Amino acid sequence: MATEVNRKVSAASAGAHSKKPNKKSSFPSGILRTTLSLLLIGFAARAYQALRPPPSKICGSPDGPPVTAPRIKLRDGRNLAYQEHGVPKDAAKYKIISILGFDSCRLDEVVAKTLSPDVVEEFGIYTVSFDRPGYGESDPNPNLTVKSMTLDIEELADKLELGSKFYIIGYSLGGMITWGCLKYIPHRLAGAVLLAPAVNYWWSGLPSNLSNEAFYQQKIQDQWAYRIAHYTPWLTYWWNTQQWFPSSSVIAQSLEMFSLQDIQLIPKLSDRESYEAHIRQQGEYVTVHKDLNFMFHNWEFSPLDLENPFPNNEGSVHLWQGGDDLIVATKLQPYIAKKLPWIHYHELSGVGHMFPYSDGMSDIIIKSLLHGK
């Protein structure tokens, strides 16, 4: 019996010794998990840095550019820089606030700079231009909206004591902001001009077929830049700074976005070289990237729903558009003007986005505004 038991034990032992031992990984699983975790953390950190814009350099701060322009302090503590043009404010008959466009500062004011001295003196015209938030020497506004921008304009008028009513002229993106003034402060306006106003392709009330047609006439790279600004604005900075795909041609200041007439007018901007670095000096994110988001986000209203701010003809609104404009969709402006029959629509054939720089154009714009024609 003992012999039989010993045989069974010996057989079991032999079987145990005959089995091949399990092979253990030459790379311990704990180290593998740690390595993968570190790689993921590193990737996430790099992605976060790529998506996160650098901090802006606030004018007047220890590391920021100096303050050289006159500024007003707004109710929320921000500073707004401005520039005065024309006759002295106290002697002016007509007071105008100029709202500038994309990638522009207070020194880019076009109408006042090209207006003939005779017209300035004859009508007694005073104009003030200003740096929009983040541009030039105006503090950025982290909570920028159409309404906040409009209220900045109203506060500028009050701080400069322009009176109960004033005129506004908005060029390009500034024209887009003019819609905000017509929405939120129509009671403060004596008249308004929109010069080649930028268009948000996602405004309600625009027919989808017309809006899509105008959208797809833009360059492919701009279509992508506008989609990102609309749907994923938190990616706007990354998209326009990455190196794999072409970014916004407007941010890149590509000559391809200009018409033939625009290119012929470029020499009129030669003085811009002396202050061009001043425009984005607080950072590209708080200027051009934020502008893209501002233009194409979901607006809190649609211009097509606006009511006539001058029902008794006590003022007038004018929209001027170049027929060969390659930056702003000319196709949509007649439709908007038709939906708002109180607008005086002027389409200029053979000219592009920079038509206000044409000789004598500012005189025509101002006379039409002040005469209501």
Q: Over the stretch 206-238, which tens digit does the pLDDT of each residue have?
A: 999 999 999 999 999 999 999 999 999 999 999
Opening angle at CA 21, ends 19 and 26, nearest 5: 160
pLDDT value of position 255? 83
Low-confidence residues of the chain: pLDDT under 70: 1-30, 32-51, 373
User: At which residue do the structure tokens 């196709």 appear?
Assistant: 331
What pLDDT shows up at residue 199?
96
- pTM summary value: 0.86
Structure tokens belonging to residue 180: 């905000």
What is residue 211's predicted lDDT score, i.e. its pLDDT? 95
**Structural domains in the chain, sorted by start:** 71-371 (3.40.50.1820)
Measure the CA–CA gap between 197 and 194, rounded to whole angstroms.
6
Whole-number Å distance between alpha carbons of 340 and 308: 8
| CA torsion through residues 210, 203, 170, 366, sign | positive
Per-residue pLDDT tens for 59-108? Answer: 999 989 999 999 999 999 999 999 999 999 999 999 999 999 999 999 99
Predicted confidence at residue 245, as pLDDT, reads: 84
Does residue 144 contact residue 151 with C-beta atoms inside 8 Å? no
